[in-house]
Amino acid sequence: MFKRMEEIMIEIPDVEKPDANAAAAVHELLGGKFGEMSTLNNYLYQSFNFRSKSKLRPFYDLVMSITAEELGHVELVSHGINKIMQGSTSPGDPDKSPLESVKDARFSYPFLAGAQGAMPFDSMGNPWTGANVFNSGNLVEDLLHNFFLECGARTHKMKVYEMTDHPAARAVVGFLLVRGGVHVVAYAKALEVATGVNVTKLIPIPSLDNRKFNESRKYEEKGVHTKLYTWSDNDFTTIDQIWKGTHPEDGSALEVIHGVPKGVPIPEAPPLDEEFAPGISADEFKEIAKRLKQSGNIKE
């Protein structure tokens, strides 16, 4: 079971600089084969199907807890996408074509199906699919997969970062590079514990250091790359049998933190009349307010 908080992980710059194609690129990090939907669902299903957990408790705890962080990543990158599209259009008479400015955007669904919000699709408008989930049940093979998956995810983030300087994209992707980097190391460490082979020596793949990215460096300087959270009130505490020793890149000491990091409030998205979202008129708001305050059933 899961609990939710009305918080996201970091503050996203509130700059009005709409860029539909940058939002499309960031969608690759959400609904793409190597996007957050993939990391989330791989670990979610691996956690469901984990065998012999009593003997392999720290590995189980690792997969269980990282899943929860991935939910927050899916959430964060979605909010980032929304900020990148913000300001794309303005309200107007339908016969004045208020959506014309996005007609040439190369990913049309957020404008036609949605109201300029994130969708579980990739940069080409192909939906995320369950076919992206790998779960052999074999511990070493699943860890190897996860290590590879995180390396692939990291590469995609690096490329998207290089593709757009939109402040919201940079902020979100820079942060996720660091946290994704934590998962790269976590699965490498897990492989080392499982096999005795020093897989962490392969890190980083690609060999470019996160610190070469301004929006990542600022987090690494604060040690964000050394902390793994249990993402739980009481469970998953044995991850410190895997997340231990030092970081393979800079040698700093690794630390497990019980619970969750401090987040920030989720920003409010403004109405978008030209997309009929939420599509409630001033009068209707009043009626709704009344019905919300009413006790008992609305209708008998």
- Least distance in Å: CB of 169 to a copy of itself? 10
276 binds a copy of itself (CB under 8 A): yes
- Interface segment toward a copy of itself; rule CB under 8 A; list 179-187, 219-227, 259-267: 259-267
11 binds a copy of itself (CB under 8 A): no
242 binds a copy of itself (CB under 8 A): yes
Q: Reduced to 3 states, what is the DSSP secondary structure of residue 256?
A: strand
255 binds a copy of itself (CB under 8 A): no
* Count of all residues that appear for the chain in the document: 300
52 binds a copy of itself (CB under 8 A): yes
- Least distance in Å: CB of 101 to a copy of itself? 9
49 binds a copy of itself (CB under 8 A): yes
137 vs 222, which CB is nearer to a copy of itself? 137
**Residues within window 89-128 making contact with a copy of itself, judged by CB under 8 A:** 92-95, 97-100, 102-104, 106-109, 111-121, 123-128
Alpha carbon distance 26, 16 (integer Å):
17
- Interface segment toward a copy of itself; rule CB under 8 A; list 178-186, 218-226, 279-287: 279-287
- Interface segment toward a copy of itself; rule CB under 8 A; list 179-187, 220-228, 264-272: 264-272
> Long-range contacts for 71-74 (Cβ within 8 Å, ≥24 apart)?
71/2, 71/40, 72/8, 72/9, 72/263, 73/9, 73/36, 73/39, 73/40, 73/176, 73/179, 73/180, 74/30, 74/36, 74/37, 74/40
74 binds a copy of itself (CB under 8 A): yes
Nearest to 39 by CA among 162, 144, 183, 189: 183
Q: Reduced to 3 states, what is the DSSP secondary structure of residue 223?
A: coil
End-to-end CA distance of the chain: 35
Most distant CA pair in the chain: distance in Å? 68
Binding residues for a copy of itself, how many (CB under 8 A)?
162
CB-based burial of residue 222 (10 Å sphere; 0-12 exposed, 13-18 middle, 19+ buried)?
Answer: exposed
32 binds a copy of itself (CB under 8 A): yes
275 binds a copy of itself (CB under 8 A): yes
Which CA distances in Å does 247 have to 57, 112, 153, 176, 198? 22, 45, 19, 17, 13
237 binds a copy of itself (CB under 8 A): no
**Residues within window 129-188 making contact with a copy of itself, judged by CB under 8 A:** 129-131, 133-141, 144-145, 147-148, 151-152, 155-156, 158-165
∠ CA 72-145-140, rounded to 5°: 115
- Least distance in Å: CB of 194 to a copy of itself? 6
**Residues within window 191-220 making contact with a copy of itself, judged by CB under 8 A:** 191-202, 205-208, 212-214
CB 203 within 8 A of CB 249: yes
